[in-house]
Structure 1
Amino acid sequence: MEGLKVSKANLVVYIHPSKSRQVSNAVLRELSSMLFAYNEIFDGIVLAYDVNSFDKCARILPGIYPYFGVKLKVNMLLFSPKPDMLLEGKVVKLTHESIHVVVLGFASAVITEKDIRKEFVYRTKHGQDVYASKSHKRHVIKVGTMIRFSVKSFDEEILHIYGSLVPDNTGSIHWLDKNLEVVSLSDRSTKKRENEGQPLMSEKDAIDGEPSSFDTVQKLKHSKKQKVRQES
């Protein structure tokens, strides 16, 4: 899935003097407070972190409360969805106007009716609401389906994603992984058959008086026959 990246960061965590005997716990507590929230510095949502090292020689900051700063080297896993990226999520609700999805278990996404390609039709099947494809009867989206969709925009404050199912490479992940390559090969085969069925001489050639490949072959054959007769 796109939108995930690992960022290496050099940080300074400020610790209250009362925590000076438990520096490691205090540092981890500060880092944990950053989880599952959008961070402007990293331009993404912090999902996880891994502390590589921290400087034991902390620098004391002057002030009423003399906090001290601990330098860290941290690897951070970030989630930063951008327009046109492909994300994956689980469908949790379907209506005639929209599909509601949860991404990575915490971020919500919505795909409205105008952003669902015309191939999908909302209907009730076996007592369950679904979006079913008119082109491929086994391509069905329902509650519980894992889908792949394109990002239109992302609201950083409420961690809400606006998505789209317009691109052909979006829809049920299970169906796409099994059939997308087959459909692509079928399309290429159809185009090949169409190209093979084209006339040997185009209308433009006929108008311009240019010989077609068929005419050229016939002339070559006729020339060879004459040469054989002359030699004999």
Structure 2
Amino acid sequence: MKKDKIRLPRREWVRSPATKVKTSAKVYTRKKPAKITNEEFLEKRDFRFCPICSAELVKRVVDKKNRMACHVCGFVYYQNPVPAAAVIIEKEGKILLVQRKFNPYAESWSLPSGFMEYNETPQECAKRETKEETGLDIKIKNLFDIYLATDDPRTHVVLMVYLAAIIQGSLKAGDDAKEVRFFLPSEIPADIAFTAHKRALKEYLEKNSVNLAKNLPTILPSEQPNLV
């Protein structure tokens, strides 16, 4: 005997407005990196572990100097200065400067500049960095001077400064630049990021018979020696 299915009446109900659950779409935003001082930046750059075997580096006397060395594989971290290139570009009596976007010395001004890449000549570095930071293609005219920079918290730098001329391009801040501008000598900002850049600007203006602005103080040769 076939049994009939029992059908129960469907209960209809309406949720009270008070019980309605409202959900909003989640919006994920990328947090801006917190600003850090140059001292904090330097601490973050210190090498603590061996790049060869990952053991902790310890201080040892190597070649009569205190150096960080690996007690396992013998690796020695020599803090050699890093080569970099910068350019002085003058147009209608004005000097091109770049305002830095990131540390070290964020928001301070400097010459268009940067570190050399592997298998790159200093002249190629100067052209590339200028293009990346300012949008301008340049022609290297000649070497102005070479400086030892010891106030970069990342490392000591051998800075090669070139005189250059603009070939083409539109001036636009790019890469790690916040702003790019041409300044009259009397308008050059006081907050120039690196002592070597101050020296280069000072000596360039003096060689071109331009009175140095008061906001570029005299720098003793013993502080940041020229290398040529």
TM-score of the superposition, structure 1-length normalised?
0.23
Higher helix share: 1
Q: TM-score, normalised by structure 2?
A: 0.23
Question: Considering only CA atoms, is the larger Rg found in Structure 1 or Structure 2?
Answer: 1
